[in-house]
Amino acid sequence: MKDKLWIMVKKVIRQADVVLEVVDSRNPEGTRSRIVERYVKSLGKPLIIVINKADLVPREVLDEWKNVLSREFPTIYISAQKRLGTRRLWIILKKYRRNSKLKVAVVGYPNVGKSMIINLLKGRHSVGTSPIPGFTKHTQAVRAAKWLKVIDTPGVVPLREKDEVSLVLKCSISPEELEDPVTPALGLIKIALEKNPTVFKETYGIESTDPLKIIEELAERRKLYLKGGRLNIEEAARIIIRDWQKGKLVFYFLPNEPIG
């Protein structure tokens, strides 16, 4: 199925004049698709990196990332949800306008906010959005202006990624899809503590720095119990993963840091 969606994405890229690659501000390098970038370059088409969810990361960090990524591709940062940076996006798109028309493909991993960016350009709710990775299952085109057509694409990358911690970190898998959510949640918690040792105190009021105890304490606080009074740590693990995907649990990577 992923291969079929990737074929669909490639078709849209071939039809587009410009490609917007949307990445997550908390993990810009980790949410880049080198496969997409190589394919766009092979076609000789311009690619613009759009760092989305800018409201979750300090501006100085965003500026650092912009400077680093701009060495390879034109880069801007915005927050589609908070409607910040709209002017930057319009300005850079107008630079590529030719013959009074422009067709733009919006690509990227699931849950980076591709559909939100299209809605931002359109000016009203026109494309479905969801915090569930893989929500967009087919291409959707909208007319954002008389001269601008924007096409959303399914989030189909990383195509061959199998490591669940990496997929969770990249928001590329729904916690409901995980047969065992605890193991990837433990990996996510470990990385979160390395980036921000107080993040679980700030988010949940939990002071422990032991990953398993954090999950158990969250289950206790949320009164998540199974039959017999056993803690439902699986559901607590899913909540942590879900909160990371929704931007409620916040930590971020700096340029040149290793990606978890």
- Structure tokens given for 209: 């720095």
Domain boundary assignment for the chain: 2-152, 164-246
CA 215 to CA 189: how far, in whole Å? 9
Residues 61-95 have pLDDT tens digits of 999 999 999 999 999 999 998 988 889 999 999 99
Tell me how far apart the alpha carbons of residues 153 and 138 are, in angstroms, rounded to a whole number: 6
Taking only the tens place, the pLDDT of each residue in 149-203 is: 998 887 765 556 678 999 999 988 889 989 999 999 999 999 999 999 999 999 9
Classify 146 as helix, strand or coil.
coil
Distance CA 164, CA 176 (A): 13
CA–CA separation, 142 and 120 (whole Å): 11
User: Which pair of structure tokens corresponds to residue 122?
Assistant: 């359109």
Sign, CA dihedral 221-227-231-232, equals negative
Q: Is the pLDDT of residue 129 over 50?
A: no
Surface-to-core class of residue 190, CB atoms within 10 Å of its CB (0-12 exposed, 13-18 middle, 19+ buried): middle
- In contact, 19 and 40? CB cutoff 8 Å: yes
From 3-7, 75-79, 124-128, 139-143, the region with the lowest mean pLDDT: 124-128
Is pLDDT above 90 for 142?
A: no
Say yes or no to pLDDT of 132 above 60.
Answer: no
- Local structure of residue 79 (DSSP, 8 states): B
CATH class of 2-152: alpha beta
The residue-averaged pLDDT of 200-225 equals 97
The pLDDT assigned to 13 comes to 94
- Tens digit of pLDDT for each residue in 20-55? 999 999 999 999 999 999 999 999 999 999 999 999
Per-residue pLDDT at 153: 82
Q: How many of the other CB atoms lie within 10 Å of CB of 215?
A: 27
Confidence of residue 4 (pLDDT cuts 50, 70, 90): confident
Q: What is the mean pLDDT of the chain?
A: 88
Give the pLDDT score at 131.
41
Max Cα–Cα distance, the chain, nearest Å: 69
What is the mean pLDDT of the segment spanning 11-15?
92
Q: What is the pTM of this model?
A: 0.89
Fold category of 164-246 in CATH: Conserved Hypothetical Protein Ylqf; Chain: A; domain 2 (1.10.1580)
